[in-house]
Amino acid sequence: MLHAQTVLDRIESSGVTLYRLSKETGISQSLFSKWKKNPDTFITSQNLVLIADYLGCSIDYLLGRDEDRFPDKSASIPFRPTGQLKELVDVYSSLDSIQQNSLLTFAKFLAAGGALPSSTEEMLAEAK
Separation CA 54–CA 25 (nearest Å):
7
C-alpha 122/C-alpha 25 separation (Å) is 43
pLDDT of residue 1: 45
What fold is seen in the domain 4-62?
A: 434 Repressor (Amino-terminal Domain) (1.10.260)
- Are 61 and 68 a contacting pair, CB within 8 Å? yes
Give the per-residue pLDDT at 31.
92
Q: How far apart (Å, rounded) are the C-alpha atoms in residues 57 and 47?
A: 13
Task: State which residues of the chain have pLDDT below 50.
Answer: 1
Concatenated DSSP letters of 40-108: T----HHHHHHHHHHHT--HHHHTTS-S-S--STT--PPP---HHHHHHHHHHHHS-HHHHHHHHHHHH
Q: How far is CA 108 from CA 81, 85, 103, 114, 127, in A?
A: 19, 16, 9, 9, 10
pLDDT at residue 122, rounded to an integer:
65
Residues 109 and 127 sit within 8 Å (Cβ to Cβ): yes
What per-residue confidence (pLDDT) applies to 19? 92
The domains of the chain are located at 4-62, 83-127
What is the pTM (predicted TM-score) of this model?
0.52
Kindly state the DSSP code that residue 119 receives in the 8-state scheme.
S
